[in-house]
C-alpha cells in the first residue's frame, strides 16, 4: 500500500474520533494527583488530541518536535489553571473538536516549512484542552496536584506517541530505500 493511501486512511480514522467523544468519567474522583493523571486518559477526545500532537511532534523532527513537546504541556497547564480559577472561555468544546481534526491532519501531513506556526497552533489548542480539564474539576483542596497529574500523564502520552512516530518513520524510510524498483 503506498504512503499516500496510508496517510489518508490514518487521517480519516483519526477524524472519526471526535464522534466518539463523550462526557468521560472521573469527575467525582476529587482533585488528587491520581484523578488528574487519569482525567486526560478517560476521554477519547483528550486522548486523541494528545496522540495526534505527539505524532505531529515526532514527524516534524528534533527541534520543531521538541518545541511542541514543551509548549503543549505548558499551555495545557495554563489553561487548566485558568479553568480552575473560573476564567470564562467561549466555545471550549468546539475548539477541542476542531483541534482533534486539525491536529490529526497535521500529524498525517506535517507542514515542514511552518514549524513555529505549527507549534503555536498546537499550543493554542492545548490551552483549550487544559481549560476544559480545569473547568470540569470538582472544587477541592489539591488543585496543584490535580493539574500536575494532568501534565504528567499528558507528557507521557505525548512523548510515547512522538517516539513511536519517529520509530515508524525510520522503519518506513528503511523499507522504502531497501525495496527494489
- Each domain of the chain, given as residue ranges in start order, spans 45-140+147-178
List the Cα angle 162/2/97 in 5-degree steps.
Answer: 45
Residue closest to 40 by CA, chosen among 49, 31, 52, 32: 49
Query: Does the structure show a pLDDT above 50 at 174?
Result: no
Grid cell locating 160 = 510515547
pLDDT at position 142, please?
A: 81
Model-level pTM?
A: 0.78
CB 29 within 8 A of CB 38: yes
pLDDT at 160: 96
User: Could you read off the pLDDT of 82-131 as tens digits, one per residue?
Assistant: 998 889 998 998 999 999 999 999 999 888 788 889 999 999 999 999 99
Can you spell out the DSSP letters for 125-180?
HHHHHHHHHHHHSPP-S-HHHHHHHHHHHHHHHHHHHHHHHHHHHHHHHHHHHHS-
Predicted local confidence at residue 130, as pLDDT: 92
What pLDDT, in 10s, does the model give residues 58-77? Answer: 998 888 899 999 999 999 99
pLDDT of residue 112: 79
Q: What percent of the chain has pLDDT over 70?
A: 75
Q: Which of residues 115 and 14 earns the better pLDDT score?
A: 115
**What is the H or E stretch that residue 104 is in?**
helix 92-108
Q: Quick one: pLDDT band at residue 178, thresholds 50, 70, 90?
A: very low
Mean pLDDT (the chain) is 81
Question: What pLDDT is attached to residue 7?
Answer: 57
Across 27-36, 46-55, 172-181, least confident range: 172-181
- CB-count burial class (<10 Å; 0-12, 13-18, 19+) for 173: exposed
CB 80 within 8 A of CB 147: yes
Cell representation of residue 82:
485558568
- Residue at grid coordinates 489539591: 142
Amino acid at each position: 500500500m503506498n504512503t499516500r493511501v496510508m496517510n489518508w486512511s490514518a487521517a480519516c480514522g483519526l477524524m472519526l474520533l471526535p464522534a466518539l467523544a463523550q462526557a468521560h468519567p472521573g469527575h467525582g474522583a476529587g482533585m488528587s494527583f491520581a484523578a488528574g493523571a487519569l482525567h486526560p486518559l478517560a476521554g477519547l477526545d483528550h486522548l486523541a488530541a494528545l496522540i495526534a500532537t505527539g505524532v505531529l511532534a515526532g514527524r516534524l523532527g528534533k527541534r520543531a518536535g521538541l518545541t511542541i513537546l514543551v509548549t503543549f504541556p505548558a499551555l495545557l497547564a495554563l489553561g487548566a489553571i485558568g479553568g480552575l480559577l473560573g476564567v470564562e472561555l467561549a466555545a471550549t468544546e468546539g475548539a477541542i473538536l476542531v483541534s482533534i481534526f486539525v491536529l490529526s491532519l497535521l500529524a498525517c501531513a506535517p507542514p515542514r516549512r511552518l514549524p513555529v506556526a505549527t507549534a503555536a497552533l498546537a499550543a493554542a489548542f492545548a490551552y483549550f484542552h487544559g481549560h476544559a480539564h480545569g473547568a470540569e474539576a470538582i472544587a477541592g483542596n489539591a488543585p496543584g496536584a490535580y493539574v500536575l497529574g494532568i501534565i504528567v500523564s499528558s507528557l507521557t502520552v505525548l512523548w510515547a506517541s512522538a517516539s513511536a512516530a519517529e520509530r515508524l518513520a525510520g522503519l518506513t524510510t528503511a523499507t522504502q530505500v531497501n525495496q527494489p524498483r
